[in-house]
Structure 1
């Protein structure tokens, strides 16, 4: 992590030891016996000091100081992971997961893995200081999940000014809660005296100590301020008693007691969250270390974060006043200081801090430049939404990265707001990608024009922008069945990731490739890739991030091979995982995908009622949703031969297809379903044309699975219309088998077996002319209940048939087989019936075909 930002993970040291009252000591002792401790109190009451002193002698702890930038999913968890690096096996992989391409749903899988890694470790204390900065509801849900489900050896301490916004009921059920409240922090008179003696080198009269106690009522922050103001004064007069007035007065008194160099140092460094005095050389060419040493000696409200690296921060009470003083500078002076500050931070690669400062002072062009150059290096993605909308039109980096991050974080409203603000009249080689985002968000039909992606994009774009673009484009082109182009985009993902070196991107690339390979019918290669991916994930205990991809994606391959048991087992796992996604945006699409595959499994297993029940569970309130017509089309394909499709459902599909999808030139499963519906309505010529067009397009694009399915239906239509020349029918069937046999594609044959059985039986001899077809044709015959004639005849009947072929009479057959002539005649009658022949000559001719 960046040098200064790393300081958030350092426990603030304090030399101000206070012997607290028994009540607070008892609560501290109970922390180890409970799951969670909530330490609440106003500014400067000593919350952090209390816990810092408590945690100091603990062997295993993590401290994270939060601020206004921490209310960001990626930002927060990145720091937590870094803070726990000594307790986890592979920090780099976790960081790849969380940054820069984390999916919002995946965070719970990531946390689950983190929880598992922390089990049975040494007692661990996780301290989150200034927790009141965390307000994002989804981020709070992730933290609540982490706290509630962590093992007994992990204890959480949340330090906050206000009530924490977690639902504590679940946590209370799984552990206990210790609460340290504001009243616990107010010092007694004796504690105040002790605190004052430990915080000043001056001897202060007991009367003044009593006066300080009377004014402050034991508030540590106020005591510190008074000690700073006192200086050489021996009395305290005319101090405002109201809290805000008191703080304002104290700040003015503090600043007024400092030298100009000290004031300049404090005010000019106030835009920084953390201060390394070395930076002052770049700001004012002065020795910042000497100045801050003097300030600390004057008991200023300066907290030492890292004594070795000389990193400090100003107490919030002080910093707030310093920022107000900074804002009073003339604009030219402010901008000059900001330029010097950010230039120094850039040298240290602290891009997050640079962007934050620029945005805080409305320097959006400067912030945009840093973002465009270093988007792949920033930690916080929250800043992306702080740019005014007009800046998106001028920056492809800002636009595409913002859309992608907001999409992954389910902030669809922000995505749509950005898209609507864009000016499409300008030429922009990412325009189609941006349009596609809008279509994805609203789950509507994707027009062909959206798939005209340029393969190469502006070389000056940030590498993260390019990677995001290639991921989206490869997915979209695969969706449009432009598989060659999709593979080309995948190679660009692979190439750009050499610079990013992000294993999360690598896994996305591989899963995307598996998806496309399945679509083109390369099922065996898919299974090989899945084995490699699962091994890669299991070896590193990364299964949590991609388990849902496996349990939802892999069944599709098994189903195409009629491996229903394997598919059902994975889908059962997927359903269990789905429970974790309830109340989240990902739940519905995952549920649809699982039910889609499960309906096919039930169909294969002959459980038609259960299959129909799943297919009827369609969201009929959202018929414009693309998933609605997909499920309706599946219902037609599966229940076509079961006479369970209503006439109005056929009509509804035709209407929807013609209105939205018929104009598409891309071959897809909806167009195949449309051809089936035309066949059902006895429009055979139109049906044949649809299937022929799909076959042509699939051949051109190399789409194996849909090609097989369409060829089978083309054969069915050809057989139905009884063309005198059966050559086209045989050739189409041979072609379907050619693309099926090596990959073991069986499902399309199984679904059409009602019509296909007679056709395969009719052309079986021709199909077996190619020796390579023998094994697969045997599978098809078994699938459809077609038995070889030599399997139809009993062993004794085969012996009789052989005797007929040898030209023996009935008497000779009986003598040879030691059976009566009557029994011989019975066998011959059965043979005629089974072979479908009328006389001895036909029986011999057929017998020669099946007995070698």
Structure 2
């Protein structure tokens, strides 16, 4: 969406000369602020904005990066303040895209603060953030915002705040760290030299020393009062007589000065000022339109030339605003002189003017302020899709609709529809569901049939909500019904619904069904011409390959997709975070830890924007597997738990399983047992049953690992065999690798260590073609002990890729003897025949391939069984294998027998 408040990203430009107050001198004495946070607090009219604007220019001259945020009435929450900071800090960066992606929730505050802090860290040299009108936000959570901006960034990042009152939030952490400097009335007050600067030589000579002293006594150095006094005294016939009439408190003085200023103007000019006071900002064309007075150009020029308490809002001095003290007074006066009806007409005309120029946010604000609800409803109906789908200001959009509903008005259907989407994006799922129900009732009341397009669009929201909230039974029913009724639907919608079913089938380990649905999505999304949608389909369809354990394929797809989305959307986009999560998992499972850490740095800061929990789990699992390693230095388990709580419950359960498994891999068995007890992970949890096959397997696997670690191996072989049979039937090769390694561990720690090589060989045969190296690295010491105690020629790998994979694993192991590694390397290579097989041995190869037993071989060749065994022994040695299946596979690879 096109930004319409461009004036807010730079400070106002003042035409009057700068008065160097004590605050200005203190804040510029060292070139940059003395403290990381500078708090400037004083009533309206004490020149806070002038001071900040002057500091902005001074620090830029000093070479600092300066960013300006002027808060307004709509910036009443921490989220809004962060949004404003994100916008000004990010805009102009390479790859920056202000339009956020559809089908994701708003990012949680702490994640956004982490990303903002990271962006500030990347700046070279000093950075100064200016935030004016902080009093617009009374949110007590602002303390966390400024703690993050100061404590989580380099000491070259400074924040300068201006507010009319002391902030309601706590700054105790920053105060304890001695990061705060405060400036108030005494530092902002103007002294005698300042009065002389404002009044000028001519007026000062007229007033004399006693008159200047009187000015300081009455104004107490209040900058706004001094500027209004200068306007009045400059035009007075007898300045000293007028000066003697000034008295009273600050508020009384301000009102009196305003009265005196207005009394010097003709009636037409005063009415012009009353007319423009309701406008937050104004320019000449807007004033012409709302006032309908041909003299408007002269009036605006009069304001400018007399510097009548107006502030330019852009460098070209096209748009202005009235000083807030003066505007508040004019609004009060305008109510008495103009009347409510005239004020309403002005706001209505302003709304129309803004709408005609596409400045929708201001147009709707004016319509709502005027109480012109029909115009507000009509305007919202036209732009709802832009504000929500194109990721405009969701909070403001929701606020507008809430206001419309509060006064008993009904928003348009399109507004209502996108209102529900906005609630979904904000993760307000329960309220969104209630609004969906209300919208459905509304459609029924209006007599719109079930086949109406809007009903199908509502069904997409329902199925998306069901996916986000992990209600897979609802997904199955709603999505299948929607697809069964497909006609000329938007390709993006088709891909969205098909993906929800693909997710549902994937987590049920129905990979054939999942591929069918993802196939529908993959054929539909190109027609939508959406890079964003294409990236989503790529990530979600990878669920199948992840659960099958094909991480080499995953890695290729994920890194390719990530390169594309980073190029088109930049590193800070939600989609980049999502694809990076998949790339991180693929990298860590294929043994590329540093690469995984780099991808996690892209993914974790925006992880909670992942509405679909399965993609978030990619990053969570990767982070835990890196935790407590050199590459995982910045990974915090408590932080991961916070992230998990923002998703449906099974994410927290799976995170606990990942943590327990990681603790066991690190040898921290007691901690793992305590963690399982704290999380309530025991056999009873398995007996309770789960809606998701993935949860059940992960829980079962974790309990088996725990039992192995503490020596509870009774019945464990049967449990493992049951899991293996189920994994085989579902095609979960990756899980078969894990289960075979668990069998190896049981064998080594039990009474049958001689069977351990067989289980390791089986695991390698499943992992080799898939590049699945992580489980072997996690058990490096155990596998090393097995390799050290096993003769190299005893490893019976059937395929060259298995031998190569095994060789790569062994290079990472603490092998005791270097000669062992040399022998293992000698196993690698397809031409490793020391001697060609004899004709009789080649005949044996053909017969064992046919499945004959040793006795059948002896009968066929008219020799004894002992002779057959002797021939097989020699054949195995020549081939470098230890069993029949390996001999057949090796013979095929060497083309000794046909495939």
Would you call these one fold, judging by a TM-score over 0.5?
yes
SS of structure 1 residue aligned to 2:33: helix
1:70 paired with 2:107, answer no
> After the TM superposition, which residues 298-697 of structure 1 pair with which residues of structure 2 at under 5 Å, given as runs?
298-324=306-332, 336-362=345-371, 363=373, 364-375=376-387, 379-386=392-399, 387-388=401-402, 398=415, 401-402=418-419, 405-406=422-423, 409=426, 415=432, 418=435, 422-423=439-440, 426=444, 427=450, 428-435=455-462, 446-447=473-474, 448-452=476-480, 454=482, 474-475=499-500, 477-481=502-506, 482-486=514-518, 488-489=520-521, 498=530, 510-515=538-543, 517-519=545-547, 523-533=551-561, 535=563, 542=571, 553=582, 570-572=626-628, 576-578=634-636, 581=639, 584=642, 586=644, 592-599=653-660, 615-618=676-679, 634-639=698-703
- Structure 2 contact 4–359 (Cα < 8 Å) conserved: yes
* Cα distance, 1:166–1:414 mapped onto 2, change above 3 Å: farther
Structure 1 unaligned runs (5+)?
A: 647-675, 699-703, 717-735, 751-770, 784-790, 792-797, 807-830
Distance 1:38 1:545 in 2: 34
User: Hey, what does 2:300 align to over in structure 1?
Assistant: 292
Q: How far did residue 534 of structure 1 move?
A: 5.4
User: Hey, what does 1:49 align to over in structure 2?
Assistant: 50
User: Hey, what does 1:841 align to over in structure 2?
Assistant: 864
- Structure 2 contact 558–580 (Cα < 8 Å) conserved: no
SS of structure 1 residue aligned to 2:159: strand
Pick from 99, 113, 116 the counterpart of residue 111 of structure 1: 116
* Cα distance, 1:443–1:211 mapped onto 2, change above 3 Å: farther
Distance 1:143 1:353 in 2: 29
Q: Which moved more, 1:252-261 or 1:597-606?
A: 597-606
User: Hey, what does 2:144 align to over in structure 1?
Assistant: 141
Distance 2:689 2:342 in 1: 55
* Cα distance, 1:341–1:547 mapped onto 2, change above 3 Å: closer
Give the aligned CA root-mean-square deviation in angstroms: 6.1
Distance 1:458 1:274 in 2: 49
Distance 2:71 2:500 in 1: 37
**Residues paired across the two proteins, number:** 721
Distance 1:529 1:24 in 2: 56
Distance 2:230 2:690 in 1: 69
Q: How far did residue 196 of structure 1 move?
A: 3.1
Distance 1:632 1:183 in 2: 67
Distance 1:390 1:412 in 2: 21
- Structure 1 contact 77–98 (Cα < 8 Å) conserved: no
Distance 1:145 1:506 in 2: 35
User: Hey, what does 1:757 align to over in structure 2?
Assistant: none
Distance 1:625 1:743 in 2: 31
Distance 2:539 2:332 in 1: 52
User: Hey, what does 1:9 align to over in structure 2?
Assistant: 9
* Cα distance, 1:404–1:841 mapped onto 2, change above 3 Å: farther
Q: How far did residue 279 of structure 1 move?
A: 2.0
- Structure 2 contact 134–163 (Cα < 8 Å) conserved: yes
Q: How far did residue 778 of structure 1 move?
A: 12
Q: Which moved more, 1:367-376 or 1:390-399?
A: 390-399
SS of structure 2 residue aligned to 1:92: coil
Distance 2:225 2:770 in 1: 77
Distance 1:642 1:42 in 2: 64
Q: Deviations over 1:800-825 (max 9, x none)?
A: x999999xxxxxxxxxxxxxxxxxxx
Q: How far did residue 44 of structure 1 move?
A: 0.7
Distance 1:707 1:583 in 2: 26
When normalised by structure 2's length, the TM-score is 0.63
Q: Deviations over 1:676-732 (max 9, x none)?
A: 99x9799x9xx99x979x96xx7xxxxx5499979x99xx9xxxxxxxxxxxxxxxx
Q: How far did residue 479 of structure 1 move?
A: 3.4
Q: How far did residue 404 of structure 1 move?
A: 5.2
User: Hey, what does 2:180 align to over in structure 1?
Assistant: 177
Q: How far did residue 49 of structure 1 move?
A: 1.6
* Cα distance, 1:612–1:22 mapped onto 2, change above 3 Å: closer
Q: Which moved more, 1:312-321 or 1:399-408?
A: 399-408
User: Hey, what does 1:665 align to over in structure 2?
Assistant: none
Distance 1:563 1:597 in 2: 19
> After the TM superposition, which residues 22-41 of structure 1 pair with which residues of structure 2 at under 5 Å, given as runs?
25-30=25-30, 31-41=32-42
User: Hey, what does 2:289 align to over in structure 1?
Assistant: 282
* Cα distance, 1:360–1:390 mapped onto 2, change above 3 Å: closer
Q: How far did residue 2 of structure 1 move?
A: 5.8
> After the TM superposition, which residues 702-781 of structure 1 pair with which residues of structure 2 at under 5 Å, given as runs?
705=732, 743=770
Q: Deviations over 1:403-436 (max 9, x none)?
A: 5555555666765664575545845324444445
* Cα distance, 1:534–1:460 mapped onto 2, change above 3 Å: closer
Distance 2:577 2:870 in 1: 55
* Cα distance, 1:349–1:439 mapped onto 2, change above 3 Å: same
* Cα distance, 1:394–1:54 mapped onto 2, change above 3 Å: closer
SS of structure 1 residue aligned to 2:312: strand
- Structure 2 contact 71–132 (Cα < 8 Å) conserved: yes
User: Hey, what does 1:266 align to over in structure 2?
Assistant: 273
User: Hey, what does 1:759 align to over in structure 2?
Assistant: none
- Structure 2 contact 38–181 (Cα < 8 Å) conserved: yes
Q: Deviations over 1:633-676 (max 9, x none)?
A: 52224545986899xxxxxxxxxxxxxxxxxxxxxxxxxxxxx9
Q: How far did residue 228 of structure 1 move?
A: 4.7
- Structure 1 contact 410–585 (Cα < 8 Å) conserved: no
When normalised by structure 1's length, the TM-score is 0.66
Structure 2 unaligned runs (5+)?
A: 445-449, 507-513, 597-621, 744-762, 778-796, 810-826, 828-833, 843-853, 876-899
